[in-house]
Amino acid sequence: MVLESRPLTTVVALDLFGSSFEQHFGPSPSPQQKLMANLKAAGVEHRATIQTADMRKLPFDSGTFDAAVSSYAIDHLNSEGIRESLAEAARVVKPGGDFLLIVIAKEPWIQFAFGPLFMHSNIRGADWWSTRLQEAGFQVLEEGTRPATRYLLARRL
């Protein structure tokens, strides 16, 4: 969606592409091939690269990106892993750049509707996420919820 709405943007899609990817998105020849098929279907594959790496130790130089997005991934980590990942995001985003954090919202109806698929044992509220972003060097600009989702838009100081 980012590539479709921003025609001058390029994206690096990063994931460990481990067994959890297949659990969430189903079997395929490889998770990278499944992602590339989606990019091709949207007609944006020429502006995206796919990289296998850990968000706790990003393989990029400091200040490489104008913006970064973490979507439904960081909330799978423990507290220390979350702090490491947010510090890495702050390191690779240029000062003044934006970071969009998207996590599962703590809403009682989600467990009823989706069972354990969406419910992590460590779902945290907005204040907890806001504090972690500030500790990492971000200023929270906006936060809110959508069904099953909490988002926080932050700017790198």
Mean pLDDT (10-residue bins), the chain, 157 residues: 87 86 72 90 95 97 97 91 98 97 80 62 83 98 90 97
DSSP conformation class of 117:
G
Residue for token pair 């989606």:
38
Q: Where in the chain is the domain with CATH 3.40.50.150?
A: 62-157
What is the pLDDT at residue 76?
85
CATH architecture of the domain 62-157 equals 3-Layer(aba) Sandwich (3.40)
What is the pLDDT at residue 3?
87
What is the pLDDT at residue 156?
98
- Determine the residue type at 144: G
What is the pLDDT at residue 108?
72
> What's the 3-state SS for 128-153?
HHHHHHHHHCEEEEEEEEECCEEEEE
Contact 31, 21 (CB under 8 A): yes
Contact 65, 94 (CB under 8 A): yes
